[in-house]
Amino acid sequence: VRHLLPGVLPQAGLAAVLMVPHAMWHESALSFLGLGLPAHQASLGNLVQSARGSLLAGDWWPTLFPGLFLIIPTLALAGLAGAWRDRINPRRKSEL
């Protein structure tokens, strides 16, 4: 265990960090399609779904903030995971 754990634990932590944006996107996509949370509960997918009609009418701003609340944490966690990977394995530097 003491030989295996130092090699596995950082990779498992990295995988856990990268699962957070996936969970956010999956929940939002399912809610947008009507398969996730009910419409009366707060969800980024429900917000985008309710603003879809105004987007088709030319009003883009109701979808701006839910979209940003999906994109910004995804990019931040991807950057965090890349920095963590570079710190764990300095021989394999990322190019981003």
pLDDT digits (tens, 9 = 90+) for 18-44: 899 999 999 999 999 999 999 899 899
Q: What is the CA radius of gyration of the chain?
A: 18
Residue 71, pLDDT score: 95
Percentage of the chain beyond pLDDT 90 is 50
Contacts of 18 (CB under 8 A, 6+ apart): 77, 78, 81
Residue 49, pLDDT score: 92
Q: Give the integer Cα–Cα distance in Å for 16 and 11.
A: 9
Residue 9, pLDDT score: 84
Strands (E) in 26-81, as ranges, are: none
